[in-house]
Amino acid sequence: MMIKILFLILLSLSSCKKEFKKGSSISKHIDNVIYGEPIRIEISNNNKISMKISSDTLYKHNEGNTILFGSVYADLFDKDGIKTSELHSDTAIVYINSDSLKAIGDVLIESIKGFKLFSEELIIFNNTKLVKSGKDIVFTSNDRDTLYGTGFWSNFDMTESQILKPQGTLSKTK
């Protein structure tokens, strides 16, 4: 009998309907904080999309910058508006004056060509379509070569990249 009552309670709670405007991802707004499912931001340069960013929460910072946190995801596009890479991180700061983005915490960028970059922090420059990190990085090529180092520069699709202070050893096979 108790199981039937519990089942009926769960069934009635799961059938409750949330009311959202069609096409709206915002579920709650309190002062400078917006919660969503997800929140979406698009950044353009010369009328071409540069970045499409989504996250669970947006915080409009007092200095005018926007902080995104909770499952931050971004599509990165080249100067022609073609998707080149995907970014995942814990948190991101969108700098309003430059439309650049700083990704923080378990950052991964994966290009559609198969390159992967892991770091704790990096900056994406919207106008120049460059990725920069001053932190420790792990870079994996599309040939599955893994490189380590500190500091990194690259274009959005990571076909032209540089590790500033490479670390590790290479062994020559005969």
Q: What share of the chain is helix, strand, coil (3-state, %, to 5)?
A: 5, 60, 30
Q: How far apart are CA 75 and CA 85, in angstroms?
A: 6
Strand partners, 107: 119
Taking domain 23-167, whether its CATH number is 2.60.450.10 is answered by yes
Whether the pLDDT of residue 16 is over 90: the answer is no
Q: How far apart are CA 42 and CA 65, in angstroms?
A: 15
> At 9, phi and psi to the nearest 5?
-65, -45
Domain ranges for the chain: 23-167
| pLDDT per residue as tens digits for the range 78-117 | 988 899 999 999 999 998 887 789 999 999 999 999 999 9
Q: Per this entry, what is the length of the chain?
A: 174
Q: Which helix (H) or strand (E) holds 25?
A: none
pTM for the model stands at 0.75
Whether the pLDDT of residue 47 is over 90: the answer is no
3-state secondary structure (DSSP) of residue 14: helix
Average pLDDT (62-75) is: 86
**pLDDT the model gives residue 33:** 74
